[in-house]
């Protein structure tokens, strides 16, 4: 990466989100494994883009290269922008997709900002319909980052 390249521009997830949505519309995503991976990838694409924008603005984080941002910062900033429903949907299903085996399942939230605002136990079922909702939530979040 050259010095003139923007981390945020390199990490913009718009095309990725469009691609996932296109796969859903064409019926190419139907199995649980692919739905889980798509949910997780969308979450992390948004997080990395958000972190890239912070980095480009001179806001440094932890780690040897000052590029290790906290998820809690990401959540808190989005909550402060009124994206409560989107953050909760994306976060809960990302946790379920990456950390829980059963579907449907019951998950516990340990993130303080979310736990205080919404409680700590959620019932969730990972489905294609949820992936569609997550794509829309991702678009709303992307518009505010």
How far is 134 from 136, CA to CA, in rounded Å? 5
Q: CA 117 → CA 49, 59, 88, 137, 140, distances in Å?
A: 25, 26, 10, 18, 20
Domain assignments of the chain as residue spans, ordered by start:
11-144
Bigger pLDDT: 143 or 60?
143
pLDDT at 140 over 60: yes
- Note the pLDDT tens digit of each residue in 23-51: 999 999 999 999 999 999 999 999 999 99
pLDDT at 2 over 50: no
């Amino acid at each position: 990466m050259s010095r003139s390249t923007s981390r945020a521009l390199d990490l913009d997830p718009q095309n990725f989100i469009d691609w996932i949505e296109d796969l859903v519309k064409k019926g190419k995503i139907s199995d649980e494994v692919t739905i889980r991976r798509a949910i997780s990838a969308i979450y992390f694409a948004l997080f990395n883009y958000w972190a890239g924008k912070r980095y480009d603005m001179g806001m440094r984080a932890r780690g040897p290269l000052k590029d290790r941002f906290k998820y809690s910062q990401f959540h808190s900033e989005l909550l402060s922008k009124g994206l409560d429903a989107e953050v909760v949907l994306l976060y809960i299903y990302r946790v379920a997709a990456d950390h829980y085996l059963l579907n449907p399942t019951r998950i516990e939230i340990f993130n303080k900002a979310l736990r205080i605002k919404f409680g700590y136990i959620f019932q969730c079922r990972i489905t294609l319909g949820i992936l569609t909702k997550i794509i829309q939530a991702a678009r709303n979040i992307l518009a505010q980052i």
